[in-house]
Structure formats: structure tokens, C-alpha cells
Amino acid sequence: MNNKEKNDQQETKQKIEKEDIIENTDENLEESNSTKNNEPKVEANSTEEENEESEEERLQEEVRTLKEDKIRVLAEMENLRKRFDREKIDSIKYGSVSFARDILSPGDNLERALSAINQEEDHPQSIKNLIEGLKMVQKELSSALEKNGISKINSMNEKFDPNLHQAMMEVERDDLDEGIVVQEIQTGYMMHDRLLRPAIVGVSKKPKQNNTSDSQDEKEPKNKD
């Protein structure tokens, strides 16, 4: 074999080795690229799942918040409805309070006029007719007040109640306990379950106990030795 053939064989061998190296390098590059391509896909999938879970949690929180807001609004509407109904009932029941108070004054004057008449005195027929007419007016007035839920407060011989009575004087009474109504100066009235006008009354109190023996001793002069 001559030198030329040897050189040809060496060149051929070197070419084959270079081709093998290039093929191996390409294969390694392909494997590395495939690995790199696969790794981001896994990360992308996990990120998408996390995003979906967070979105679902956010939607559930919004639904829960909306339910709470709805319940609160319904409760407020129910309270407003009850309040409106209560105010409507009160306006019907107590809407004429001022007018009722104004009517009580003429009724008081009518009662005073009748109480001032001496029933035992023999009056002329015209006066008797006038008295009967006043009594009829008083009866009709009382009936009208009762129809509108206005009633008298029974105060005589009752325990003094600051919610119903207004004390104007104290009357010494030894036969009664303290705080008993013994005199009614002005009649009180209730309108349904509310106080329309308090009764002006006099209440009892125990008389002061004077020590007579002490007072006599003070008046008598002391004997000098």
C-alpha cells in the first residue's frame, strides 16, 4: 500500500469520526431541547390549575358576600315595614291628641258648673230644664270621648302614682296611710294606653306628733332652791 492510499484511508476515517461526532451532538441537542420544552409545559399546567382554583375561591367569596348583603337588605326592609305599620297605627290611634286635650277644658267647665248647683234647692222650672240640658251635654261629651278611646283616671282613694297623678297639696289624715289620693282637683284622662292628661290631686300624709309633755315643761318655770 502506498502513501497515497494510506492518506486516503486516514482522511476517510477522520470524516467518519467527524460525522459521528456531529450526529451525537445533534442528538444531544435534540434531547436537551425536548427536555426544556417539556419542563415549562408542566409549570404552565400547574400555574393554570392554581389560577383556576384562586378564581373559583374568589367567585365563592363573591357569592357569599352577595348572600349576606341580600339577607341584610331584606332584614332592613322588614324593619322598615314594621316601623311604617306601627307609625300608621299610632297616627290613627293618637292623631287627635291635641284636639282631645282641647275638648277636655270645656268638659271641665261643664262639670264645675253642674257641681256648683245646689241639688237640694227648689229651682224654677226653667233652671231645672237648663240643668237637665247641661247633664245631657255632659253625657254626650263623655260618650264621644269613650268612642275615641279616652277614659277617666280613677284617682280617689288610690295610691299616688307619679305616672298618672300630679300632687298639688298634702292633706293630713290620721286614718289613712301616706300617699293616698284624698282629693281630686282636676280629673285625669287616658287615651288608649297613653296618658292624655294627669290628674291633679291632693294626697294624704300623717299628722305631726307633738310631744305635749315636753312643751308643757318648757312653758313651766323652773323652781329655784
Domain limits of the chain?
Answer: 1-93, 95-148, 151-209
Please give the biggest Cα pair distance in the chain.
185
CA dihedral 97, 94, 147, 108 (to 10 degrees): -20
How far apart (Å, rounded) are the C-alpha atoms in residues 78 and 177?
A: 51
Cell numbers given for 87: 307609625
Q: What is the pLDDT of residues 68-117, one digit of tens each?
A: 999 999 999 999 999 888 888 888 777 788 888 888 988 888 888 888 88
Entry pTM:
0.57
List CB contacts of 162: < 8 A, sequence separation 6 or more: none
Contact 198, 166 (CB under 8 A): yes
Whether CATH 2.30.22.10 fits 151-209: yes
Q: What is the pLDDT of residues 50-65, one digit of tens each?
A: 777 788 888 888 888 9
Q: How far is CA 171 from CA 72, 113, 162, in A?
A: 59, 25, 17
Q: How far is CA 4 from CA 12, 14, 15, in A?
A: 12, 15, 17
Give the confidence band of 160 by pLDDT, cuts at 50, 70, 90.
Answer: very high
Task: Identify the three-state secondary structure at position 97.
Answer: helix
Q: What pLDDT score does 26 carry?
A: 56
What's the chain's average pLDDT? 79
How far apart (Å, rounded) are the C-alpha atoms in residues 142 and 111?
A: 11
